Amino acid sequence: MIQLHIIVSGKVQGVGYRYFSQMKAVQYGVTGWAKNLADGSVEITAVGSKDQLDPFVEELRIGNPFSKISDMKITESEASENFNSFTIKY
């Protein structure tokens, strides 16, 4: 399994982006979490296979109708954590 650490910048807070990421994670069978950061970005940890993560990341790049993505930083590693679902952290 692959683990991605993703920082999404742009208009991603207050627009339902974390919920959007959770819905897409469920759609593609990806586990992990998403949370808002103090600088206005969203941090995501996502675990899955390449076939699950590739379309998930593409959906994150597009965003929902209310978000505007200006940048995504992605770090890939071997999965070091095991999640049962995809949650929103507060």
Q: Which residues are catalytic?
A: 18, 36
Q: How far is the C-alpha of 9 from the C-alpha of 29, rounded, in Å?
A: 24
Q: H-type helices in 15-84, by residue range?
A: 17-28, 50-62
